[in-house]
C-alpha cells in the first residue's frame, strides 16, 4: 500500500506562480509514489470576508488549475472540503485537545486579525469588525483535513510550516490520550518554498497584489516583470547573483531557476556581465513560455465544466468513505460509539 500525501489550496480566485512553484508543481512529482489527495479548502476560504456569488466559480477555477498544472485526476483524488462533512466533525473533536494560546500565537492568525480588526476589538460595538472564531480555529480545521486521511506527507510552501507543526502536535496529543491512531504528518517543502512578490519584500500573494497569475497574458507578464522592484546595486557588486543582500533580485533569479530547471551556478553564469534589464526581459519570456501549455490546457478544461464537477463529485465520494472509517475509529477510541 502506498503512503498517503495530502494538500490543499484555498479557492480565492486565479492561482499565482507562488502557489505553483511553492506547492502544486511539487505535487505532480508525488503522483506516482504516493496515494495523493488534493483538496479545495472552501471552509478555510470563508474565514475572511468573501463573495458568496463567486464562490462556485472560484472552486471550479481551482480544480481547473490543479489539472492544468499536471495533477492528473486519474492518478489521484481531487475534492472540495465542504463536500465531506467529516472535516468539520473531526475539527470539533480536535478542538477539545487544541490549546487556545497556541492558536492565538499563530503568525497567519495575527496577520489576519490586524487586517480584520483595525480597532481594539474588545469594544462590544466593534463586534462586526472583530476577528471571528473560524479564523482562530483555521489551523485546527487544517489538522483535521490531514489527519482524517492519515496522511504521512504534506507538500506545502514555507508559510504553512507552523500550521503543520500544530497538526503534528494534535496527532501526538490524540494518540497519547486515546491510543495510537494518527501518523504524525511530515512537512514536505520543495526547492522554492517561499516566492516573494514582485515588490521584493512580502511573500507573493493574492491579497498583496504583487503576483503573476497563472493566467496572465504575455503582455501583462512583461509589464509586471518590467515594474518588479530590484535592489540598488551594492558597492562591489558581483552583478546579477543570488545574494542575501539582494533579496528582490535573488527572488527573480529563483523564479528563473525554477522555470528553466537550471541550477544556481548555471543561472549566475548565464547572467554574468548582464544587468537587471536583461534579467527582466529574459525572465518574462521564460515565464510566458512555461505558462503557455498550462494556459492552453486551462482553456480546454474551462470549456467542459461538467467534466470537472464530475471529477470533484467522484473525489468527494471516495473521500467520504475514507473519512467515515477514520471517524468511526476516532469515536470508538473516545467512547462515543456503542
Ligand atoms: P494557500 O491557499 O494560501 O496556498 C496554497 C499553497 O501554496 C503555497 N504558497 C506559496 N509557496 C511559495 N511561495 C509563495 N509566495 C506561496 N504562496 C502560497 C502555500 O504554502 C500552500 O502550500 N492553509 C492552506 C491550505 C490548506 C492545507 C490544508 C494545506 C488547508 N488545509 C491541509 C495542506 C494541508 C493555505 O491557506 O494555502
CA 229 to centroid of ligand 1, rounded, Å: 24
Tell which atom from ligand 1 comes closest to the C-alpha of 138. 23
C-alpha cell belonging to residue 117: 480588526
Rounded Cα distance between 31 and 9, Å, is: 17
Domain CATH code at residue 253: 1.10.240.10
Is residue 212 in some structural domain?
A: no
> Do 130 and 246 share a domain, yes or no?
no
13 conformational bin, left if phi > 0, alpha if psi -120 to 50, beta if neither: left
Domain CATH code at residue 9: 3.40.50.620
> Do 291 and 313 share a domain, yes or no?
no
Segments of the chain scoring below 70 in pLDDT: 116-129, 234-236
Torsions phi, psi for 92 (to 5 deg) = -60, -45
Is residue 211 in some structural domain?
A: no
> Do 95 and 232 share a domain, yes or no?
no
Is residue 257 in some structural domain?
A: yes
> Do 146 and 278 share a domain, yes or no?
no
Tell me the DSSP string of 180-241.
Answer: S----PEEEE-S-S--B-TTSSSBP-GGGT---BTT--HHHHHHHHHH---PPPPTT--SS-
CA 78 to centroid of ligand 1, rounded, Å: 16
> Do 60 and 29 share a domain, yes or no?
yes
Measured from CB, residues less than 6 Å from any atom of ligand 1 are 6-10, 18-19, 22-23, 41, 44, 142, 145-146, 154, 156-157, 159-160, 163, 193-195, 203-205
Report which of 193, 199, 241 is spatially closest to residue 224, judged by C-alpha positions. 199
For 21, which DSSP code? I
Rounded Cα distance between 169 and 164, Å, is: 8
Torsions phi, psi for 63 (to 5 deg) = -65, -40
Report which of 152, 227, 162, 151 is spatially closest to residue 193, judged by C-alpha positions. 162
If you count them, how many residues does the chain have?
Answer: 338
Rounded Cα distance between 22 and 270, Å, is: 24
> Do 246 and 264 share a domain, yes or no?
yes
Is residue 92 in some structural domain?
A: yes
> Do 30 and 138 share a domain, yes or no?
yes
Judge whether 203 counts as a catalytic residue: yes
> Do 145 and 246 share a domain, yes or no?
no
Q: Are 311 and 78 in contact (CB under 8 A)?
A: yes
**pLDDT value at position 116?**
59
Rounded Cα distance between 238 and 219, Å, is: 31
> Do 34 and 86 share a domain, yes or no?
yes
> Do 282 and 317 share a domain, yes or no?
no
Rounded Cα distance between 118 and 127, Å, is: 12
- Tell me the residue range of the domain where 116 lies: 4-195+306-333
CA 295 to centroid of ligand 1, rounded, Å: 21
Tell which atom from ligand 1 comes closest to the C-alpha of 157. 20
Judge whether 112 counts as a catalytic residue: yes
Which residues are CB-contacts of 334 (< 8 A; sequence separation ≥ 6)? 93, 178
> Do 236 and 311 share a domain, yes or no?
no
Tell which atom from ligand 1 comes closest to the C-alpha of 139. 23
> Do 43 and 17 share a domain, yes or no?
yes
CA 150 to centroid of ligand 1, rounded, Å: 19
pLDDT tens track for 252-305: 999 999 999 999 999 999 999 999 999 999 999 999 999 999 999 999 999 999
Domain count, the chain: 2
Among 36, 48, 160, the mutation site with the greatest number of ligand 1 atoms within 8 A of its Cβ is: 160
Catalytic residue among 3, 132, 194, 206: 206
CA 10 to centroid of ligand 1, rounded, Å: 7
Judge whether 331 counts as a catalytic residue: no
Rounded Cα distance between 157 and 19, Å, is: 8
The residue written with cell numbers 515565464 in the block is: 287
Report which of 153, 136, 124, 141 is spatially closest to residue 41, judged by C-alpha positions. 141
Is residue 210 in some structural domain?
A: no
Q: Are 71 and 28 in contact (CB under 8 A)?
A: yes
Among 7, 16, 19, the mutation site with the greatest number of ligand 1 atoms within 8 A of its Cβ is: 19
Amino acid at each position: 500500500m502506498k503512503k498517503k500525501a495530502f494538500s490543499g489550496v484555498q479557492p480565492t480566485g486565479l492561482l499565482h506562480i507562488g502557489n505553483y512553484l511553492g506547492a502544486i508543481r511539487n505535487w505532480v512529482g508525488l503522483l506516482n509514489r504516493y496515494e495523493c489527495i488534493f483538496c479545495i479548502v472552501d471552509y478555510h476560504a470563508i474565514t475572511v470576508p468573501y463573495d458568496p456569488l463567486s464562490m462556485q466559480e472560484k472552486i471550479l477555477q481551482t480544480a481547473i488549475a490543479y489539472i492544468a498544472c499536471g495533477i492528473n485526476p486519474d492518478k489521484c483524488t481531487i475534492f472540495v472540503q465542504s463536500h465531506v462533512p467529516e472535516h468539520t466533525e473531526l475539527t470539533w473533536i480536535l478542538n477539545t485537545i487544541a490549546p487556545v494560546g497556541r492558536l492565538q500565537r499563530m503568525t497567519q492568525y495575527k496577520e489576519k486579525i490586524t487586517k480584520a480588526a483595525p480597532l481594539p476589538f474588545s469594544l462590544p460595538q466593534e463586534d462586526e469588525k472583530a476577528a471571528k472564531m473560524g479564523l482562530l480555529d483555521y489551523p485546527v480545521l487544517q489538522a483535521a483535513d490531514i489527519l482524517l486521511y492519515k496522511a504521512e506527507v504534506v507538500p506545502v510552501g514555507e508559510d504553512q510550516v507552523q500550521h503543520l507543526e500544530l497538526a503534528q502536535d494534535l496527532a501526538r496529543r490524540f494518540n497519547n490520550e486515546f491510543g495510537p491512531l494518527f501518523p504524525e504528518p511530515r512537512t514536505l517543502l520543495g526547492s522554492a518554498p517561499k516566492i516573494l512578490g514582485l515588490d521584493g519584500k512580502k511573500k507573493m500573494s493574492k491579497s498583496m497584489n504583487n503576483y503573476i497569475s497563472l493566467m496572465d497574458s504575455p503582455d501583462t507578464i512583461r509589464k509586471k516583470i518590467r515594474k518588479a522592484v530590484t535592489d540598488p546595486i551594492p558597492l562591489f557588486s558581483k552583478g546579477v547573483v543570488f545574494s542575501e543582500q539582494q533579496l528582490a533580485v535573488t527572488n527573480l533569479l529563483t523564479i528563473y531557476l525554477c522555470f528553466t530547471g537550471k541550477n544556481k551556478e548555471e543561472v549566475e553564469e548565464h547572467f554574468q556581465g548582464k544587468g537587471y534589464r536583461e534579467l527582466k526581459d529574459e525572465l518574462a519570456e521564460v515565464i510566458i513560455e512555461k505558462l503557455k501549455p498550462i494556459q492552453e490546457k486551462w482553456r480546454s478544461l474551462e470549456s467542459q465544466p461538467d467534466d470537472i464537477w464530475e471529477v470533484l463529485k467522484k473525489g468527494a465520494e471516495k473521500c467520504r468513505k475514507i473519512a467515515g472509517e477514520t471517524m468511526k475509529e476516532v469515536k470508538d477510541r473516545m467512547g462515543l460509539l456503542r
